[in-house]
Amino acid sequence: MLSRIFTGLSLGLFFILLLIFTPFFYISIIFSLISLYGFYEWLNVSKEPIARNIFLMAFLMILLLFYHTHSTVIIFAYLSLFIWILLLIDMYFESPFYKKLLSHAPSLIGLYMIISAWFMIISIGSTSSVAVGEKNTYLMFSLFNPDIKMYLISLLALVSLTDISGYFIGKNFGEKKLCKNISPNKTIAGLFGSILIPVLCFILICNYMLAIPLMISDLLFILLFCIFCTIGDLFISTFKRFYHVKDTGDILPGHGGILDRLDSYLPTISIFQIWLFL
């Protein structure tokens, strides 16, 4: 428990300092390397060829960087949301569809899920009116807008608050299991805690600290965001259970691998993009 808390706090502090003091170009490189390593863990767990698939992902990243359009961002965002909704339905009804995909094309699933999340994070803010007027200069590698860093910190804080709320509420008050066949530690109380606490904090901060008026759409998106934090967790839990491993790696003490920490970000980055920029 102590190692988990220490690692979580250290990672949070590291990324906050990174976002505050590091130029966008280097932030983009770090995000890209983290994504490649996450895909490496996916391939390692699923026993898929590593070198060939890592090269393919790096090649696709370069293609997206040099040959993207604003439409590419929009397509990736809505397609990702659609796919994650299908996965939610699949897991809720305990359909075998996702597991069949893992049996026949595990590398393609990991490739799409990770590269789409990567593209969504480095293209945050790219659909603003200013960005549209500056073709091919809006991805994070060439970005100079300091406001985007605050959005990234908000994304980090929101995912962290959702995960922490769900963990502590579930551990202390959870009895009825949410998906015992996928993740035995997940409880219904933890799910409600991971939704209600972030939503209440969001309302309090916006209304009383920032004086920002909230719309119904904002509350709906924050609700969707918190729900899909859990869906991302269950997605990786299903993947690990399918291949009979506890963690995707051991690089993070108390947490496991990079994918064990990226799980909540995989579906929520596209929701964040649609919510605030599309």
Residues of the chain with pLDDT under 70: 1-9, 127-138, 143-144, 254
Question: Chain centroid to CA 195: how far?
Answer: 16
Is residue 45 classed exposed, middle or buried when 0-12, 13-18 and 19+ CB atoms within 10 A define those classes?
Answer: buried
183, containing H or E segment: strand 183-187
For residue 74, give both structure tokens: 């929009």
Question: How far is 170 from 162, CA to CA, in rounded Å?
Answer: 12
Q: What is the pLDDT of residue 12?
A: 76
- List the structure tokens of 226: 């918190």
Task: State the distance between the two ends of the chain, measured CA to CA, in whole angstroms.
Answer: 39
Rounded CA separation 57/39 (Å): 8
Closest to 178 (Cα-Cα) out of 158, 156, 194, 157:
194
Provide the pLDDT for residue 143: 67
**CA-to-CA distance for 175 and 188, rounded, in angstroms?**
8
Helix (H, G, I), strand (E, B) or coil at 246: coil
Give residue 270's Cα distance to chain centre: 8
Q: How far apart are CA 268 and CA 126, in angstroms?
A: 17
Q: Where are the domains of the chain?
A: 2-277
Report strand pairing: 183-187 vs 177-179: antiparallel
Is the C-alpha dihedral spanning 229, 270, 106, 141 positive or negative? negative
Task: State residue 229 phi and psi, 5-degree precision.
Answer: -60, -45
What pLDDT was estimated at residue 251?
A: 86
Two tokens at 180? Answer: 């015992």
Note whether 199 and 222 are within 8 A (CB): yes
Residue listed under structure tokens 């219904």: 188
The pLDDT of residue 103? 92
